[in-house]
Structure formats: C-alpha cells, structure tokens
Amino acid sequence: MGFLAALIVGLVLSLAPASRQPSPLEAVRKLTFATSLPEFIRKADDPRHDARLVWDSDGCSAPVFGNAGKTYDFTSACRRHDFGYRNLKRIDGGKHWDETVRERVDRVFLADMRRDCAARPTAQRTACGRWANLYFAAVRNFSS
C-alpha cells in the first residue's frame, strides 16, 4: 500500500466512531439471555470483567437442597442465575425487574441445568434432571 493510501486509511479509521460500551442493562441482558453458559463463566472469571455489574454469587443456596454435591453440581448455572437476579433488580432502581423477567431468568437457569444433565452419562441423566427440576421449583417458590 502506498503512503497516500495508508494515510487515507489511517485518517478514515481515526474518524470512525469508537465502538461504544453497552449499557449495564444491555450487558446484563446479553450475558443472561444470549450468551452460552461456558462463555458467561469465562467472562465472570476474567478479572477484567465489567466492573459496573455485580458478579458475586453464593452458589447454589436453594433453601432446602443446598448443593447436591459433585455429581449434580449446578454451580455455574447458579452463578448466572444470581448474576441475572442481582443486576436486573438493581439497574435503574429495579425498573427492569418484574415477574416476567424473573420467570425468564429462572427459565435460563433450568435450561442451563438441563444442558448440564444432557452432557452426563446416560445412567445419570434422569436423576440429574430430577435435581434440576427441584432446584427450579425452589427458585420459583422461594426466590423473588
């Protein structure tokens, strides 16, 4: 590329609008509803993650069940569930949080757990699915 062409390309790139950072609400919606669970966990574990968002989680703290142990450890699904709840409840004073959004976050939680179960050996899938349904029932009945 000649000097003049390189200068023009450089000028055009410098005048192009910088990519904007998504709003906290946009970022939470994308990470909760439109990002794979492994990608969410990768972003959550990255120390450079979006500091505007709440990333902490108490893991799987279902009122009765706790964490079922290594066999049916839904900690990653619980982390995303906590992320969705904690952020959507606080952004803009919680005006984006209602029963419809809560149910949607809970449904993502169930889908994440079911994907985990589906990846397990056939002999474990049924019991794993039952635990996933119990966790889902717990969040539907005891969370808000």
Please tell me which residue, 44 or 69, carries the higher pLDDT value. Answer: 44
pLDDT surpasses 60 at 82: yes
pLDDT at 72: 80
Q: Are 31 and 85 in contact (CB under 8 A)?
A: no
Please tell me whether residue 83 adopts helix, strand or coil conformation.
Answer: helix
Answer whether 0.85 is exceeded by the pTM: no
* Nearest by Cα to 77 from 124, 126, 131: 131
Angle at 10 between CA 9 and CA 15, to 5 degrees: 100
CATH superfamily of 22-142: Phospholipase A2 domain (1.20.90.10)
* Nearest by Cα to 136 from 85, 74, 88, 76: 74
Instruction: Summarize pLDDT for 15-33 with one digit per residue, the tens.
Output: 545 568 899 999 999 999 9
Angle at 71 between CA 141 and CA 106, to 5 degrees: 25
Please tell me which residue, 57 or 8, carries the higher pLDDT value. Answer: 57
CA distance 113 to 47: 25
Give me the chain's average pLDDT, please. 86
Instruction: Summarize pLDDT for 94-122 with one digit per residue, the tens.
Output: 999 999 999 999 999 999 999 999 999 99
**How confident is residue 67, by pLDDT bands cut at 50, 70 and 90?**
low
**How confident is residue 68, by pLDDT bands cut at 50, 70 and 90?**
low
CA distances from 86 to 2, 46, 68, 71, 111 (A): 53, 19, 23, 27, 19
Report CA torsion sign: 69, 143, 138, 44: negative
pLDDT surpasses 90 at 53: yes
